[in-house]
Structure 1
Amino acid sequence: MDIIDSLEWRYACKKFDEKLKLSDDQLNTLKKAFNLTATSFGLQPVKMLIITDNETKGNIFKYSYFQKQITTCSHLFVLCINTVMDDETIDSYFELEKEIRGTSEEIISKFRNQLKQIYKGKSQNEIEQSAINQAYIILGNLMTVCAVEGIDSCPMEGFIPEKVDEILGLADKNLKSILMLPVGFRAEDDFMKSLKKVRKPIENLIFEDVLIKS
């Protein structure tokens, strides 16, 4: 399928075939897609937990409004933000840049210090909101890669983050759950499987060469 055919094929899968599992190659592709997604300043303030354990899925299911995607999916991806963006975190990025690119400290130091000052000027809420925005970028990228690879997915905000954080022990890791993405393969009896997409006409949403006047 080309990219548009893949996006036409994609839908928010409500029930997965529990017998069908992602291959190691498919899972590795999604891991790499996660890691390659663009983030602000390249700081990657989002981590992803991959859940396959049925007991853990069952516990999360209770706090996800009993949505079947959680328990029937092959793998449950939980996107979490780092709640800490301190000097140590920023330094670790620049040390990695030096290692990978061979960039000198002389070139890096000014931007490194600027970035530290930027984050020192942010409130905790601003730091977390910035990371949340990037989690949504990652979610969109993962969904597109899933579609291209013929993997079903379902983006989910419908869960109680505090309870999921508790189940997964995230607070001790300075993490908060933000989004979930169950992935796998659609069940034959998923009621959404054969429904046509409902989308507004493109001309009602995209405007070309239009000057917006005040």
Structure 2
Amino acid sequence: MTAGREVCPLPPWGVSNGRTVGSVNIYTCGKGTVGGGSATCLPSKEWDKKIDTTCTPILAHPCKNDSLCSEINGYCSAKGQCECEPSKIYDETSKECVVECADGWEKFGVHCYLFNNDPLSWEKAKIHCTQLGSNLLKVEDAPEHEFAKAKCAEYGTIYYWIGARWSTEYGEYRWYDDTVMNYTVWSPGEPDIKRGCVDMLVSVDWAWNSHHDCSNTNGSSICEKG
């Protein structure tokens, strides 16, 4: 098996004329010829008789719409095959299309992050991130928070704006797009009666702090895209 290539499993019963065999359709792995009794893998895969699993769609797989390609975060191109959008690359580790991080951006998982130390208000930081094709950081889980926390400490300022603020419509803190904050790391006593925006604060080990002034208080910020 060629090193560095994704495995394209061969059903244990073999290939049967390019048709669906049992629960495995060989078209998922490669190109079959009905009646010809043969199948070839796509360039990034090869048959492995030792593995008995169902194949998964990959880059360059034939397609008619985005349904198949969406499983690798791609789209069906005019060539009739799954491709990554121009702003993305195919990541061999995660087996999906991911944003290619520009210089100055930090990569974590399939996202890119910019830790901007130029002092901006929360509102201006939000606009700045949007102009860069991103948004203020939306923390989805503990690993992402730990990544942001480590980078905040590395870059060495007092606090960083993230993408949460008080929503008068919903009467609670929400992310910039009004989605619910299912994961939070509020510092002790937070959020308090202040109805403003949120930062990660060094004095509480980068836990989250509510701040009343989103328009005039300037600080560092974190942009995220991907």
Q: TM-score, normalized by length of structure 2?
A: 0.23
Q: Going by fraction, where is strand more abundant, 1 or 2?
A: 2
Q: Going by fraction, where is helix more abundant, 1 or 2?
A: 1
Q: TM-score, normalized by length of structure 1?
A: 0.24
Higher RCO (CA < 8 A, seq sep 6+): 1
